[in-house]
Structure 1
Amino acid sequence: MERVEQLFNGLWQDYVTRLCPSALQIHDLLAEEEPLHNDHIALRTFNLPMVGLDRLAAPFIAIGYQPKGRYRFEGKKLYAEHFEHPNPLAPKVFISELMVGQFSSLFQQTVRELVAQMPETSLRDPAFLYGGRQWELDFATYELLLAESEYGGWLAAHGFGANHFTVSLNHLEQFTEVREVNHLLRHNGFVINEAGGDVKGSAKVMLEQSSTMADRVEVGFSDGTYAIPGGFYEFAKRYPDEDGELFSGFVEASADKIFESTHQ
């Protein structure tokens, strides 16, 4: 587990420093005697050969992770897979990729030109997973991509890193319901993602989720610094299946709305 912890420590430090500083405050609000258990993280990428889902999955597979589920989000033009480690205490990993070929020729050309700026060597170290943006980008180009795909604009601006970590309610003692966590967070000034309801999913589909709306963070562009949506914090409660094992997958309808946590 040492290599797993090392990789996730790097992802966490990048997440709370660059993408979602408020996660530290939420972490303190929910902290109990035992460390908070991270249910999963999520990563975003483009489905281009150099940076596709397989490239992001490789460092996880190298430390024992295995592919488990596949998901499609037709409206957002996304494909995703999730990965699990044989050690059930290791966080799950959800990786999605934008189907670039389904967008306008200008969008496609712009994204390809951004990714082409990356040195091939940058992908050899697993730390690229939390290395941020590895291309030059001006604010007008960000807005151009954003107009066609919120996901595409976000990814172009932030590059690589976990857009969210997830508190497992199954490992909390003080809170057992997602609604209770939402109430606490609202009381402390946090905004909850209400797309599809403030609690997504149900016991029937064996997974309930909620999330904050993304922090607004300062991002440096080639022509100035602008505040845009960064990362968010998620909360998940899993239910047992017919065999009494906790459901370990994801629910497409719920995940579709979780993506909207980074919307303006």
Structure 2
Amino acid sequence: MERALTDLLEHLWQQFIAVTPSAVKIHQLLGQGQPIQNDHIALRTFDLPSVGLEVLARPWLELGYQGQAEYEFTSKKIHAQYFSHPDPTAPLIFISELKTAEFSDCAQAIMRDLVAQLDSNLLGTPEMLYSGAQWRTQYHCYQALLEESEYAAWLAAWGYRANHFTVNVNELKGFSDLAQVNLTLHQAGFHLNTAGGEIKGGADVYLAQSSTVADKAEVTFLDETHLIPSCFYEFAQRYELPNGELYRGFVEASADKIFHSTDSKG
């Protein structure tokens, strides 16, 4: 991979592990001292004009990525698209955006206030992708968003960063499949997201996925500090299509359940 892309991925990784210490332990556990290839990285945003999906996609497109399939998560009011790079070792980039117009007037006002605080010079730049929560808000605003959308509340608290990295199980040394990875994680005491089953998907849809439950880290709001869900680590095993190529896309039903990894309430 070219240096600019490698640097961007490293910025995202360092920011990710700063609030997801379990990822460092899992990386050591599964990698056994060897490099781990990332399957994909996920980013979140609002669909407001200055910060929509296309704004977050801009730096990736400039690095050679190309837009691929789009997805709709109706119940969560989320639109998403993934992007792939000609270099097969470069991770896929999964960008989702919250459809703000489908929320209450109160929630929309909070989201617009957050975005209004952003530095316009940062919009659409690589630095924006790991700029974190540049905005400040009160805890009761976070709670108001939480009542309507776990996704919205997470984004309000954490801002721009990798929501999760994903281990490419196909390239993982010493493991035959995702079930074996999950067993190893269980034995080491890690908790997995059970929404829709521990393994979402499978060979029939050419993609099997699992993920940890998000770590928790402190967020300092304008008025209070609270321990809330941060980020998580995902694991993906891809299967061959009839033409012999590995499936490169995503499965909406599975991704819908992966979103629950950052839930703060049952």
TM-score band (shorter)? over 0.9
| Distance in 1 separating the partners of 2:161 and 2:203 | 30
Query: Displacement of 1:172 after TM fit?
Result: 1.3
Which residue in 2 is equivalent to 1:26? 26
| Distance in 2 separating the partners of 1:171 and 1:210 | 16
Listed as ranges, the matches of 1:1-264 within 5 Å are 1-18=2-19, 20-32=20-32, 34-123=34-123, 125-264=125-264
Query: Displacement of 1:124 after TM fit?
Result: 5.3
CA deviations 1:96-125 (Å, max 9, x no partner) are 000000011111111101111112012254
SS in 2 for 1:27: helix
SS in 2 for 1:165: strand
Bigger mean CA offset, 229-238 vs 29-38: 29-38
Letter in 1 for 2:79: Y
| Distance in 2 separating the partners of 1:131 and 1:225 | 20
| Distance in 1 separating the partners of 2:59 and 2:125 | 8
CA deviations 1:196-220 (Å, max 9, x no partner) are 0000001010000000000011111
Query: Displacement of 1:44 after TM fit?
Result: 0.4
SS in 1 for 2:244: coil
Q: List structure 1 segments (4+ residues) > 2 angstroms apart after TM superposition.
A: none
SS in 1 for 2:204: coil
Please provide the CA RMSD for this pair: 1.0
| Distance in 2 separating the partners of 1:119 and 1:143 | 25
Query: Displacement of 1:175 after TM fit?
Result: 1.0
CA deviations 1:240-260 (Å, max 9, x no partner) are 111111000000000000000
| Distance in 1 separating the partners of 2:147 and 2:164 | 23
Bigger mean CA offset, 8-17 vs 175-184: 175-184
- TM-score scaled by length of structure 2: 0.97
SS in 2 for 1:164: strand
Query: Displacement of 1:191 after TM fit?
Result: 0.7
- TM-score scaled by length of structure 1: 0.97
Q: Is this contact kept in 1: 2:12–2:130, CA < 8 A?
A: yes
Letter in 2 for 1:35: P
| Distance in 2 separating the partners of 1:164 and 1:112 | 25
Letter in 2 for 1:15: F
Specify every segment of 5 or more residues in structure 1 that has no aligned partner in the other structure, as ranges: none
CA deviations 1:55-74 (Å, max 9, x no partner) are 00000000000001100000
Q: Is this contact kept in 1: 2:137–2:221, CA < 8 A?
A: yes
| Distance in 2 separating the partners of 1:94 and 1:223 | 33
Letter in 1 for 2:190: F
Percent sequence identity is: 51
Q: Is this contact kept in 1: 2:195–2:257, CA < 8 A?
A: yes
Letter in 2 for 1:10: H
Specify every segment of 5 or more residues in structure 2 that has no aligned partner in the other structure, as ranges: none
CA deviations 1:6-65 (Å, max 9, x no partner) are 1100100000013x1210000000014540000000000000001100000000000000
CA deviations 1:121-151 (Å, max 9, x no partner) are 1225411101100111111110000100000
| Distance in 1 separating the partners of 2:94 and 2:239 | 19
CA deviations 1:70-100 (Å, max 9, x no partner) are 0000000000000000111100000000000
| Distance in 1 separating the partners of 2:226 and 2:141 | 13
Paired residues in the alignment total 263
| Distance in 1 separating the partners of 2:211 and 2:183 | 12
| Distance in 1 separating the partners of 2:131 and 2:158 | 9
